[in-house]
Structure 1
């Protein structure tokens, strides 16, 4: 294991997803520890840590990609939460999802908007407590 990649990945994961990302990696570690390590090292240690895009821009690109896939609601939820953590607004997230209707179709955009609505409602409930 390359400890530099892993440490860099853990830092990026924490910046974007906070403690939620660590929890997901721990859950994956129970069944596939090597896969959890690969996620921390490659996407977060190598890609999300690059300088070419800001964390906010990377999250916008990730949301767009997940919307067009149309089959990853758990990951979409996590990255919507992460995008809010790095400075995206709810309005920006909705606009990105709506833009994807042009390329992914209305069903994919509607499904993604429902995921976003749930995330926003959860955050609203948290802020009221």
Structure 2
């Protein structure tokens, strides 16, 4: 494995204040899978310069909502999206728009997951 890519992914996650992401929990369960996630998803793809961190998260949230079955990833990326500058209203609007293209069940599920994330952040005193 390429330690440079892992370090680049770790830096990107630090920039996103990843404490509320799935990374720490995943690392306990499967350090190897977490390393691949850091190396490829964040070191190679998320770190590409074509989009801002905020816009990367907007795209990721859209994809995860459309999948309809990636609840833990969606929860993690709602947190990362908020950390990257998306507002709560923007996240909810993403899911409203996706109701047309991904289906109402996927959009409704994503909205309930967002509510859980918002409530958890409120309970911790995290403003955004």
Q: Confirm or deny a common fold (TM above 0.5).
A: yes
2:25 maps to what in 1? 24
5+ residue gaps, structure 1, are: none
Q: Tell me which residue corresponds to 1:89.
A: 87
Q: Distance in 2 between matches of 1:35 and 1:26?
A: 8
How much does 1:20 deviate?
Answer: 3.6
What is the CA–CA distance in structure 1 between the aligned matches of 2:26 and 2:71, rounded to whole Å?
17
Native 8 Å contact 1:17 1:81 kept in 2: no
Q: Distance in 2 between matches of 1:56 and 1:8?
A: 18
Q: Does 1:7 align with 2:20?
A: no
- Offset at 1:24? 2.8
RMSD, aligned α-carbons: 1.5
* Per-residue CA distance 1:80-113 (angstroms, 9 max, x = gap): 0000001000000000011110111111111100
Contact kept? 1:97, 1:113, Cα under 8 Å: yes
Q: Name the counterpart of 2:61.
A: 63
- TM-score with structure 2 length normalisation? 0.90
What is the match of residue 118 of structure 1?
Answer: 116
More helix by share: 1
Shift >3 Å, 4+ stretches: none
Do 2:20 and 2:80's aligned partners in 1 also have CA atoms closer than 8 Å?
A: no
Tell me by how many angstroms 1:68 deviates: 0.4
Give the superposition deviation at 1:17: 4.5
For 1:52 and 1:95, how far apart are their aligned partners in 2? Answer: 23
After TM superposition, the structure 1 = structure 2 runs for residues 27-38 of structure 1, keeping only pairs within 5 Å, are 27-28=28-29, 32-38=30-36
5+ residue gaps, structure 2, are none
Q: Compute the TM-score of the two structures, normalised by the length of structure 1.
A: 0.90
